[in-house]
Structure 1
Amino acid sequence: MKIGRYVGQGTREATGVLVEFGGQTKVLDLAVASAQLKHNTPEFASLDAIIASGRSLLPKIAEIADKARRDGEEAWFGDPATTQWLVPNRPGKCLCAGRNFGRHLDESKQLWAARSGATDQRSIPTGFVKFSENLVPHNASVERPVDVTDFDYEVEIAAIIGQRIERESETQALDAVFGYTVFNDLSAREWQFTEMENRMVMVGKNFPGAGPIGPWILTADEVPDPQALNVVLRVNGETRQTSSCNDMIHSFARLISFWSRLVLFPGDIICSGTPGGVAVAHKPDPRPWYLKPGDVVEAEVPQIGVLTTRIA
C-alpha cells in the first residue's frame, strides 16, 4: 500500500492512499471515503496516528480502499501527478547512515586519503542527524545555500519506524518498520568537509531543504526484503547514481537494531546511506557535476516512486 500526506479539499491536510479507479492510479482521500462508507475512523485523518498504530490499521484501510474502488465517487479521488504532497511525517529523529554502500565507501576512501590520509571505516554503523524542520516534500524547490558551490545529491531509502523499540535484535528489527520512502540527502560539501576534519558533521547536512523526502510511504508488508530495493538518481534526466541495496554494508535490520540503543519511536526515520556516483567523487574535476540553480533532481526507488526536487 502506498500512503501519504497531501493538501486536500479546502487546503486541509489529508491522508491518501494510491488506488486504481476508473482504469487510472488515483489518490483516495481516506477520511472522506471512511466517512462516506460509514467507517468513521478518527485515526484516518492523521498519517502520524496511522504510523503510530504500527501496521494494525492497514487491514481496515485496505478494506476501505477496496470498497472505494467498487462504489466510490469521483470526488473522493485526486490525480497523483497534480497533488500537492506534503512531507510524509515529521520525525522526532532522522538518523542517516554514512559511507554505508560499498562503492560509496570506496570513493570516499579515495577522497579522504587525498585530503588527510584517514580512510578507516568502523565496524559499527556511523552517521549523522537530519533535523526534522529541514525535511521538504516532493516537488519542493530547494535554494542552494548562498555561500556554497559544492552542492551534492545522495539518493537514499528512508525506513519509517512504526513502534517504540529499545535495544531490538537484528532478527526482530524489521518488524518495527511501518514503511519505506525515498530520501535525498542534499549536502553542502564545503561545510561538510571542513567539519569532518574535526571528525564531526552537522551544518554540511542541515540547512533549509536539506532533506527532500516522499512522495509517499510504501508500507512494509509489501517489502519482504528491503535489501532487494533499488535506488536511482537523475539530474536533468541524466543518471548519476544507480544501485541495489544489497550493496549496503550495514543492512536496514542492522541499522535499526544498532540505533535502537537511542530508543526509537513511531515516526522516527532511519536512512540507508547512499551508493556511489555522488558529484564530489567525479574526477578529475567534480565542479561540473555539482547541483546548480535550475537543475531538476529525480531520486527514485522503482518499487516506491520518484521524488523530484528543483534547485533554486
Structure 2
Amino acid sequence: MKIARYQSAAGPERLGIVTSAAGEEWLVDVAKAASHRGHAGAPTTVMGLIEGGAAAMDATLDLLAWTAARQDPIWMDDPAAVQWLTPVPERSMFCAGRNFGRHKLESMKSDTASSSQLHSDFPTGFIKLGRTLMPNKSRVARPADVTHFDYEVEIALVLGKAMDAQSTIDPASAIFGYTIFNDLSAREWQLREMQNGMIMLGKNFPGFGPIGPYILTADEVPDPQALVLWLKVNGELRQHSDCRDLIFGFAEMVAFWSRLGLVPGDLISTGTPEGVALHHKPNPHEWYLKPGDRVEAGVEGIGVLETFIV
C-alpha cells in the first residue's frame, strides 16, 4: 500500500491511498470514501493508520476493496492537483552517516575526511530537526552564506511501533514503511563542525529535509536491501545504488537507535550512496546546488520526491 498525507479542498490533512483507475494514478481520500460508505472504522489520518496497528490496516484494506468495486471520482484526488504534506507530522529523525560502502570509500579518499572520523562497529549519525522536513514539490532556499549546497538521496524508514533498549520485539517488525528523503547539506558548515566532532547546523538550516511523497508499507517490501535509489539534478543522474551496499541495514539501525526510545512515526534514514557533489573530482563546485535547480530523488516502487532550489 502506498500512502500519502496531503491537503485538498476537503480539508487541511487528508489520508490518501494510491490506486489506479483507467490506467492513471489517483489518491483515494479515505475519510471521503468512509463517509460515502456510511460507517466508521478506517482511520482518517496517517498517524491513525500507523498507531492503529493491524485493526486499522484491515479496516483500510476493506474500505479500499469497497472503493475499487465502485471507482467513484467523488472520493478520488489527482496527485498532480493536491498540496503535499510531509508523510508524517513533525517527528524525530535519526540520520545515518557514511552508511553505504562506496560512499564511505569516496569519503576516505577525500581530503575532507580522515579514517578517525569513520565508524566501525556501530552506526554513526546525527539528528535532523523535525521542523526542517519539507514535503514533495517544496521550494528550498539556499542560505545566503552557503555555496557548497549538496544533495543526498536516502531512504527513510517510518516506525510503526514503540521501541526502547528493553524491547524484545523483532526490530524489523517495528518498521511501518519506507519513504524518500533528500538530506540537503551545507558542506562548508558541516566540515567545520566535524572538526569539533559534531554535525548540527550544516544539516538543519530551514527546509534542509525534503521527504515524501509516499510511504510504501513494509508488507510490500519483502527485501529492503533490494530497494534501488537514485538522484537527478536538472535531469542529470548524480547518484544511483541499491541497499545491498548498506553497511548497517534497516533492522540494525532500528535496534541501535531504539536506545534513545522510539515512538510510532519516528524516522530513521539510511545515509546516502556515492555521488554527492562534495566528493566529485576534480572540482566539486560546479556540482553544488544553485538557485534554479530542480532535484529529483527517487526510490523504485515508491516514487519521486521533487524539490526546487531558490
- State the distance in 1 between where 2:200 and 2:32 align: 41
- State the distance in 1 between where 2:295 and 2:266 align: 25
Shift of 1:162: 0.6
Report the count of equivalent residues: 310
Q: Does 1:96 align with 2:92?
A: no
Partner of 1:40: 40
Shift of 1:182: 0.3
Shift of 1:143: 0.2
> Which of residues 224, 228, 250 in structure 1 aligns to 2:222?
224
- Does the 8 Å CA contact 1:170/1:254 hold for their aligned counterparts? no
- Does the 8 Å CA contact 2:96/2:123 hold for their aligned counterparts? yes
- State the distance in 2 between where 1:103 and 1:170 align: 33
- State the distance in 2 between where 1:28 and 1:168 align: 39
Secondary structure in structure 1 of the residue aligned to 2:81: coil
- Does the 8 Å CA contact 1:187/1:204 hold for their aligned counterparts? yes
Moved over 6 A (4+): 168-171
Q: Residues 53 and 239 of structure 1: is their aligned pair in 2 closer, same or farther, counting only changes over 3 Å?
A: same
Partner of 1:75: 74
Secondary structure in structure 2 of the residue aligned to 1:71: coil
Q: Does 1:309 align with 2:304?
A: no
Partner of 1:150: 148
Shift of 1:72: 3.9
Q: Residues 178 and 281 of structure 1: is their aligned pair in 2 closer, same or farther, counting only changes over 3 Å?
A: same
> Which of residues 172, 181, 184 in structure 2 aligns to 1:183?
181
Secondary structure in structure 1 of the residue aligned to 2:69: helix
| 1:199-243 residue CA offsets vs partner (Å, 9 max, x unmatched) | 100000001111000001001110111111010000000000000
Partner of 1:243: 241
- State the distance in 2 between where 1:12 and 1:257 align: 35
- Does the 8 Å CA contact 1:189/1:204 hold for their aligned counterparts? yes
- Structure 2 residue identity aligned to 1:29: D
Shift of 1:116: 5.7
> What do you get for the CA RMSD once the two structures are aligned?
1.7
| 1:87-121 residue CA offsets vs partner (Å, 9 max, x unmatched) | 01124310000000001101111225x56674543
Secondary structure in structure 1 of the residue aligned to 2:304: strand
- Does the 8 Å CA contact 1:53/1:163 hold for their aligned counterparts? no
Alignment of 1:219-298 (within 5 A): 219-298=217-296
TM-score (norm 2): 0.95
Secondary structure in structure 1 of the residue aligned to 2:110: helix
Partner of 1:174: 172
Query: Percent identity between the aligned chains?
Result: 49
TM-score (norm 1): 0.95
Partner of 1:50: 49
Partner of 1:7: 7
Q: Residues 290 and 269 of structure 1: is their aligned pair in 2 closer, same or farther, counting only changes over 3 Å?
A: same
Shift of 1:164: 0.6
Shift of 1:65: 1.2
- Does the 8 Å CA contact 1:171/1:253 hold for their aligned counterparts? no
Shift of 1:35: 1.2
- State the distance in 2 between where 1:121 and 1:74 align: 52
Partner of 2:31: 31
Secondary structure in structure 2 of the residue aligned to 1:12: strand
- State the distance in 1 between where 2:90 and 2:54 align: 17
- State the distance in 2 between where 1:171 and 1:249 align: 22
Shift of 1:69: 1.6
Shift of 1:38: 2.0
Q: Residues 289 and 93 of structure 1: is their aligned pair in 2 closer, same or farther, counting only changes over 3 Å?
A: same
Q: Residues 264 and 15 of structure 1: is their aligned pair in 2 closer, same or farther, counting only changes over 3 Å?
A: same
Gap regions ≥5 residues in structure 2: none
